Amino acid sequence: MAWDPVGKVAVITGASSGIGEATALRLARLGMTVVAAARRQDRLEALAARQPGIIAHVTDVTSTADVDALAARVRDEFGACHALLNNAGLGGGSFDGRDDLDDALHTLDVNLQGTIRCMAAFADLLEMSAPSRVINVASVAGKLGIGPAGYAASKFGTVGFTEATSLSWADRGITVCQLNPGFIETEGFPQTQVKRTPAGRVVGRPDDVARAIHRSLLDGATERTVPAWYRAFVVLRHVAAPLYRFGAARIDRASGSRD
């Protein structure tokens, strides 16, 4: 039976800008109740004022207490969570040595552990609300080790956690999806360097990802790449690793991540 979003409850982390904000607007306009979570209260309140159906909730996903409080509020106020979108994330910097340790660990804490915290806090409510969806916004960098190493590690971890739970949670009526965007221009990921290269032509917009998230909610996909043709690089990575590494090294240099 088709999954009808109308009247359902969604929680989106990282909803104060970029992909999360675009997705909150899209889902609320469809008729979902959207709990928009992030740290910047002013941005969340401005978002809630723009569109009925959006509720602002300040959360830091690195805090287990914050995430548990978010889940408790959703359970108490709405009695259900039909869709959990783990989207909060940051890029982090390059990893060259000891000076970069804190940054890499923080990136893992937000991107990977934040996702795990949210899935832990919402698991029972998602099961009670089945058929329900978890969409983890990972990245093509979670399939290909390009860009800042801490970021790639956080997204490889997210892909692994997502793939494992997509199997182990299926019997509970919860579909867990890895949503892997390519280059998208947002506040945290301005793509300044990429836009200076030929690859700049393929930089997408937050709404491209919001549309893909919407589709994944409807069809219950367990994996989606935006745009889809990025999957060709993933296939190349596995079937022709030396050729892939040659190309990836050139892109890495051109994108300036070693500057």
Ligand X SMILES: NC(=O)c1ccc[n+]([C@@H]2O[C@H](COP(=O)([O-])OP(=O)(O)OC[C@H]3O[C@@H](n4cnc5c(N)ncnc54)[C@H](OP(=O)(O)O)[C@@H]3O)[C@@H](O)[C@H]2O)c1
Q: Which residues bind ligand X (CB under 6 A)?
A: 13-20, 38-40, 43, 59-62, 87-90, 110-111, 137, 139, 181, 183-184, 186-189, 206
Q: Which two tokens stand for residue 108?
A: 């893992």
Cβ burial 117-134 (10 Å sphere, 16+ → b, else e)? bbbebbbebbeebeebbb
Q: What minimum distance in Å lies between the beta carbon of 61 and ligand X?
A: 4
Nearest approach, Cβ of 24 to ligand X (angstroms)? 10
| In the complex, least distance from residue 209 CB atom to ligand X, rounded to whole angstroms | 7
Q: Looking at beta carbons only, is 173 or 188 nearer to ligand X?
A: 188
CB of 171 to ligand X, least distance (A): 28
Residue spans of alpha helices (H) in 79-148: 101-108, 114-128
Q: Among candidates 91, 147, 138, which has minimal Cα distance to 116?
A: 138
Contact by Cβ (8 Å): 33, 10:
yes
Catalytic annotation, residues: 151
Q: What radius of gyration do the chain's Cα atoms show?
A: 18
Q: Which is nearer to ligand X, 131 or 188 (CB)?
A: 188
Type of residue found at 227: P
Q: Which is nearer to ligand X, 58 or 130 (CB)?
A: 58
- Identify which of residues 170 and 232 has a Cβ nearer to ligand X in the complex: 232
d(CA 225, CA 192): 22
Contact 83, 135 (CB under 8 A): yes
